[in-house]
A = this chain, B = another copy of it.
């Protein structure tokens, strides 16, 4: 299998290297061959080439089986009005790969509930899979700017809504058969299109229970009854906000993976944490989010379900027995966590 790695900025290179080490251990153990090709994205790409996503990086991603990304951005490139910005590389990559469904699983490890801002009783049985639409909405709509006015257009077509919602229903069938669709249908036209499309598609999945929530209510319900959700599907910007809110429940951003999928098997995998410039280069970043992203890569792009499960079980073991990185109350570095996960694989 051909895997493109895009380590990016900040702690990106450190956590990506750890994830690759775990993939190598999987390859050795199960007798697979993974070929890696590394490319630039984000701030480091701007510095080297002037562009946040150089053409050769994009071409490599388009012909790979899977892409493993670290993080983009940092204080050096943080001016939101600069003409060229690291995030543009990420957004362009998502669009070019057509990865319209961003999967963000959330579970709260029982050994880590003390780190969560939520009370322990709220965290019991939390197991949510967010499915965020990733290539539409206000992120990619027309923008205008004059001296005294700015606009962003949020646009959705029925086709865009249908494909991501179908993915959510399919995923719910492999889980607890419940889909919660989030919109703002009492105010937004795009949300009314979203809701009516969801309603129509739901008819094809009579075995899956559907509920609709308004985004403001959902922001509250995620805190008051997080254990009642299974698959949560929503549009791009609402998904951006709600998945970060939900991520706070896990105790550390460093733990959470994501997978972005389109029509074929090819996918883009990245931890949900950012480039964490404050700890970059110190060898202390938590690689678990990146390692679990690699597990999702094995499952969704390479069809290696057993191997994915083995990586997840190894991470579980390490979270339970240690070592632990700083963000979750330990003092182990990135390399120690990586080695512990590799050791637990065997």
Contacts and interface: CB of A to CB of B under 8 A. Distances in A.
Interface stretch (A213-221, A295-303, A317-325): A213-221
A149 B138 contact: no
Given A118-B118, A237-B184, A241-B241, A150 B219 contact: no
Which of A185, A193, A247 has the most chain B CB atoms closer than 10 A to its own CB?
A: A193
Interface in A263-281: none
Copies of this chain per assembly: 2
A149 B243 CA distance: 26
Interface stretch (A27-35, A43-51, A154-162, A171-179): A154-162
A334 B247 CA distance: 37
Given A151-B189, A190-B151, A244 B216 contact: yes
B240 A216 contact: yes
A152 interface: yes
A148 B162 CA distance: 11
Given A244-B220, A247-B220, A152 B119 contact: no
A196 B81 contact: yes
Contacts of A153: 151-154
Which of A149, A150, A186, A220 has the most chain B CB atoms closer than 10 A to its own CB?
A: A150
B190 A152 contact: yes
Contacts of A190: 150-152
Interface residues of A, number: 63
A125 B341 CA distance: 40
Interface stretch (A10-18, A139-147, A284-292): A139-147
A242 interface: yes
A309 to B, nearest CB: 29
Contacts of A154: 138, 151-154
A215 to B, nearest CB: 6
Interface of A: 73, 80-81, 85, 87, 91, 116-119, 122, 138-139, 141, 143-145, 147-159, 184-196, 215-217, 219-220, 222-224, 237-238, 240-245, 247-249, 253
A85 B244 CA distance: 32
A245 B245 contact: yes
8 contacts: A87-B186, A117-B118, A119-B119, A148-B159, A216-B244, A219-B248, A222-B245, A245-B245
A193 B237 contact: no
A10 to B, nearest CB: 15
A190 to B, nearest CB: 5
A317 B240 CA distance: 40
B219 A244 contact: yes
B159 A195 contact: no
Given A155-B150, A219-B219, A144 B240 contact: no
